[in-house]
């Protein structure tokens, strides 16, 4: 099994970070291998991804949510994948995010990929216009 775990601190409140991560449709903004994510219902999202020049389709199923603390999911495809993202407030305006990814078959899961995802997520969060 391939696994990765990494953390980063984001300059945004835990509520803002959690709400952004729940927008699974926005995952392609910081996970480059995802081409499109569409909501099916409250806990299922269809996705299209590209790996090694091949297009893949599947479903992301959210299996656990603890508001402003944790989101866990699994992918339902030829390649079984699991993910957990945890949110830890560091102050009123900063949040530590820990991302854990596992894949039974996909050798591309790596710490480097997870680091890249979180760096792009941080950029997304910190460059957004503040709410009115």
Closest-CA residue to 74 (of 49, 52, 45, 117): 45
Q: β-pairing, 95-103 with 70-76? A: unpaired
Closest-CA residue to 50 (of 64, 35, 63): 35
The pLDDT value given to residue 121: 94
Mean predicted confidence (pLDDT) in 100-117: 74
The pLDDT value given to residue 81: 83
* pTM given for the model: 0.86
Check whether 129 has a pLDDT greater than 50. Answer: no
Check whether 4 has a pLDDT greater than 80. Answer: yes
What are the sequence ranges of the domains in the chain?
Answer: 2-126
Q: Fold for domain 2-126? A: Alpha-D-Glucose-1,6-Bisphosphate; Chain A, domain 4 (3.30.530)
The pLDDT value given to residue 106: 60
Instruction: Kindly indicate the confidence band of residue 12, based on its pLDDT and cuts at 50, 70 and 90.
Output: very high
Give the HSE-up count for residue 50: Cα atoms under 13 Å, Cβ half-sphere: 7
């Amino acid at each position: 099994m391939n696994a990765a775990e990494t953390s980063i601190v984001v300059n945004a409140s835990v509520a803002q970070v959690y709400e952004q991560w729940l927008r699974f449709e926005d995952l392609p903004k910081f996970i480059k291998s995802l081409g499109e994510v569409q909501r099916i219902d409250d806990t299922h999202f269809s996705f299209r991804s590209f790996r090694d020049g091949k297009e893949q389709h599947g479903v992301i199923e959210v299996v656990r949510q603890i508001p402003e603390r944790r989101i866990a999911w699994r992918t339902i495809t030829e390649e079984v994948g699991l993910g957990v993202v945890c949110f830890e407030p560091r102050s009123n305006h900063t949040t530590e995010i820990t991302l854990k990814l596992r894949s039974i078959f996909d050798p591309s899961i790596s710490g480097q990929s997870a680091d890249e995802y979180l760096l792009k997520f941080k950029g997304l969060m910190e460059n957004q216009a503040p709410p009115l």
